[in-house]
């Protein structure tokens, strides 16, 4: 914390890693963060002064689907999920994709409507 400043933040980036020891786990995590192909862009930030958790995604909005595009993707996945033609493993993959899309949308809605106010 800077002297005389109210700014103090805890920055959290989480990932599950299999490793032989804590140092190897940290080295693997750092390598993933530095890999341009790995989207290590979402961070949780605890703001001590306001006692509030923020979720920050550093990916620019231009690189994301807007709500209309995302709704089309979700609708297409739901149609595929209900279709009798795809194989069972394909339907399973589609179901998992929908679960993640729905969870992300619910999480984003909670942040928008009431803030992400939990202790670190």
Q: Please check whether residues 89 and 48 belong to one and the same domain.
A: no
What's the Cα-to-Cα distance from 12 to each of 28, 47, 56, 79, 91, rounded to whole Å?
16, 11, 10, 37, 34
What mean pLDDT is reported for the chain?
Answer: 78
Domain of residue 27 covers 1-62
Q: Please check whether residues 72 and 84 belong to one and the same domain.
A: yes
Q: Please check whether residues 10 and 55 belong to one and the same domain.
A: yes
Residue 81 has pLDDT above 80, yes or no: yes
pLDDT digits (tens, 9 = 90+) for 14-62: 888 888 999 999 999 888 888 777 777 788 898 888 888 888 887 765 6
Q: Please check whether residues 5 and 52 belong to one and the same domain.
A: yes
Q: Please check whether residues 49 and 101 belong to one and the same domain.
A: no
Count of structural domains within the chain = 2
């Amino acid at each position: 914390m800077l002297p005389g400043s109210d700014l103090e933040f805890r920055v959290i980036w989480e990932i599950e890693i299999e490793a032989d020891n804590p140092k190897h786990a940290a080295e693997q995590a750092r390598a993933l963060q530095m890999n341009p192909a790995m989207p290590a862009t979402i961070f949780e930030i605890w703001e001590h002064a306001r006692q509030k958790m923020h979720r920050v995604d550093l990916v620019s909005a231009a690189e994301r689907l807007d709500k209309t595009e995302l709704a089309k993707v979700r609708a297409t996945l739901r149609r595929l999920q209900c279709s009798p033609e795809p194989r069972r493993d394909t339907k399973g993959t589609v179901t998992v994709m929908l679960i993640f899309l729905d969870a992300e949308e619910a999480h984003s809605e909670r942040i928008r409507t009431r803030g992400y106010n939990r202790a670190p």
